[in-house]
């Protein structure tokens, strides 16, 4: 009798995904689901998804989910966590959402140190809405709105969100990972688990940036798209831990007594 050695996480639904062939959102979903199972939080987890490729989060996870307006996932997640601090709250967002229309919500939620886990999928393009330039599009990369390639003199430089958030005092953990081979998937799994721990153990803000291939908008085969992530994208977005606070940071000092009199 054959022995089963691999199975679907309980936190994943039985569903055929809407993602394009070669897209690594499905891999990211599995890693998040494995973390939900591992920490036993399915009965109190709430996932927040905005517009974009992640919009059907409710279809794929056996946990409570809520859809937010484009860019407002972290604002919605903040409200949920503050109203119900006993819940485990995570967002699953793309680069166009988190780093463009939702940049304000992202920076302020992170700076406040909200107890939320953020899974940020960076595929360097607006995936669902037509392949337009995103804040993460690489210099010279062609998109539907930069047909000659992104010109940094006109459109500016890509935003490195993992580095930006690591500078904020409210962020407990920030790491960038990728999914282009088995080794990197194992690293991504470890990072997502650690981001869960940041919330569960310290009520801290944990952020994982996941570099992902978008073969459809790159106009490449799945294999070539994965190689592009490894050889081209990682040069602009280096992998690794940007911040990891092993202990709870000391609170800021109280103002001097003389300042209270002002």
pLDDT of 23 higher than 50:
yes
Q: What is the pLDDT of residues 99-125, one digit of tens each?
A: 999 999 999 999 999 999 999 999 999
Tally the residues of the chain: 262
Q: What is the pLDDT of residues 162-196, one digit of tens each?
A: 999 999 999 999 999 999 999 999 999 999 999 99
pLDDT at 131: 84
pLDDT of 250 higher than 70:
no
pLDDT at 234: 98
How far is Cα 42 from Cα 122, in angstroms, rounded to an integer?
Answer: 25
Distance of CA 100 to the CA centre of its chain: 14
**pLDDT category of residue 261 using cuts at 50, 70 and 90:** very low
**pLDDT category of residue 260 using cuts at 50, 70 and 90:** very low
Please list, in sequence order, all residues whose beta carbon lies within 8 angstroms of the beta carbon of residue 104, skipping any fewer than 6 positions away.
none
Mean pLDDT of the chain, nearest integer: 92
Residue with the larger pLDDT of the pair 76 and 5: 76
**pLDDT category of residue 2 using cuts at 50, 70 and 90:** confident
Token pair belonging to 250: 């000391």
What secondary structure letter does DSSP report for 145? S
Are 33 and 41 in contact by the 8 Å Cβ rule? The answer is: no
**pLDDT category of residue 254 using cuts at 50, 70 and 90:** low
pTM recorded for the entire structure = 0.91
Q: What is the pLDDT of residues 34-68, one digit of tens each?
A: 999 999 999 999 999 998 888 889 999 999 999 99
How far is Cα 131 from Cα 240, in angstroms, rounded to an integer?
Answer: 27
Are 93 and 44 in contact by the 8 Å Cβ rule? The answer is: no
How far is Cα 133 from Cα 60, in angstroms, rounded to an integer?
Answer: 27
How far is Cα 247 from Cα 202, in angstroms, rounded to an integer?
Answer: 9
Token pair belonging to 134: 């995103």
């Amino acid at each position: 009798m054959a022995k089963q050695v691999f199975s679907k996480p309980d936190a994943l639904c039985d569903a055929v995904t809407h993602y394009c062939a070669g897209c690594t959102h499905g891999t990211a979903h599995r890693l998040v689901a494995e973390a939900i199972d591992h920490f036993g939080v399915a009965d109190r987890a709430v996932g927040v998804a905005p517009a974009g490729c992640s919009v059907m989060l409710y279809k794929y996870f056996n946990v409570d989910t809520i859809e937010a307006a484009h860019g407002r996932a972290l604002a919605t997640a903040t409200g949920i966590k503050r109203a119900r601090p006993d819940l485990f709250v995570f967002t699953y967002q793309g680069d166009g959402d988190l780093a463009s229309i939702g940049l304000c919500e992202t920076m302020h939620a992170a700076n406040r140190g909200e107890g939320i886990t953020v899974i940020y999928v960076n595929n360097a393009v607006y995936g669902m809405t037509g392949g337009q330039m995103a804040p993460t599009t690489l210099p010279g990369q062609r998109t539907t709105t930069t047909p000659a390639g992104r010109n940094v003199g006109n459109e500016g430089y890509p935003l490195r969100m993992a580095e930006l958030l690591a500078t904020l005092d409210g962020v407990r953990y920030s790491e960038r990972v990728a999914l282009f081979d088995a080794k990197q998937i194992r690293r991504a799994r470890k990072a997502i688990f650690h981001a869960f721990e940041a919330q569960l153990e310290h009520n801290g803000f944990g952020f994982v940036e996941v570099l992902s291939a978008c073969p459809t908008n790159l106009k490449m085969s799945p294999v070539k798209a994965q190689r592009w992530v490894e050889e081209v994208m990682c040069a602009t977005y280096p992998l690794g831990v940007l911040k990891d606070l092993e202990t709870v940071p000391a609170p800021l000092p109280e103002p001097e007594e003389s300042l209270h009199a002002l």
